[in-house]
Amino acid sequence: MTKKINVFSALLLPVLIFSVAGCVTKTDFETLQLERRQDLNRIKQLENELAETKSLLQDEIEQSQTPVRQRTADMWAELQGLRTDIAKLRGNVDTLNIRLDRQVGPAQSDLTLGGLDSQLDEIVFILENELQVDMAKVKKEAAANPGQTTPEGLPEKVTVGEPTPVPATTPPAEDADPAKALYDKAYALYKEGEFEKARSYWAEFTDTFKGHPFSASAFFWQGQCYFKLKDYARAAILFEDVIERFKKSSKYKSALLKAGYCWDYLKKPELAKLRMEQVINQFPKSVEATQAKRFLEKNK
């Protein structure tokens, strides 16, 4: 009888062990499911709060003042004048490309004017966003105090050799695009630190040339003008418009980053964190992701 009991116990013990193990695994699984549901609910709550805050900001802005169209009577005459200026600039760019090929390297080399321009834009972006450098102010101070810029011990001027004069080319007089001219005028004003004027030109652009390929950039730069003017509420609305309407635009990731900065200034840290994490997750190798990581590190 004792032997039968021992055999029965030996068979029953593994069954009990597996039963207990099964309960633990199920409990862990249910805990994970609960945590996942809580995370999803939190994300949904943040998105709802974002939409509500944006709506409230829009209502406050509309109630505070009626949007005023800053039109100038001679705008179209100025646009016609810009056609000639653009034509001259194109000729100058052609000449500059030839000189760069002679002095820097051939056209098929890795170093190109476009590459240098992209590097410059990246440097300016970092200076303005990470170091909070006011580039417009720096340019004005440099123009007001033109000092010696050549490092000590180096000759003031190095003669490389004059390239062979290039015959001037006369581009067609009617090939300028009015939309591009208006956009370029706004960008020129922005670089000069005339943020409100630049914003009005970009606003005119988005109103006049709806659906233009530059629309996303025009909306983004309007937000950037407001950001420079420290009107973070209006800036946030424009950056959020870019995020919602132009997800495939090159300005999408920059708008995410800038929206994060705006929400931080508006004392909405959770919304700021949400946008910064989107930048890092969607564009992990971008300059914007680097800035977002630094922001999150500073605001832990």
Instruction: Compute CA distances 30 → 22, 25, 76, whole Å.
Output: 12, 9, 67
Which regions of the chain are under pLDDT 70?
1-25, 28-29, 64-81, 83-85, 87-88, 90-92, 94, 96-175
Contact of 180 with 83, CB cutoff 8 Å: no
pLDDT at site 8: 53
For residue 219 the two structure tokens come to: 């909306």
What's the burial of 286, exposed, middle or buried (CB within 10 Å: 0-12/13-18/19+)?
A: middle
Instruction: Compute CA distances 118 → 18, 48, 111, 172, 238, whole Å.
Output: 63, 37, 11, 28, 24
pLDDT at site 261: 96
Tell me how long the chain is.
Answer: 300
Helix axes 269-282, 2-64, angle to 10 degrees: 110
pLDDT at site 176: 73
Domain boundaries, the chain: 76-104+112-143+170-298
Could you tell me the pTM of the whole model?
A: 0.53
pLDDT at site 230: 95
pLDDT at site 165: 45
User: What is 76-104+112-143+170-298's CATH topology?
Assistant: 1.25.40
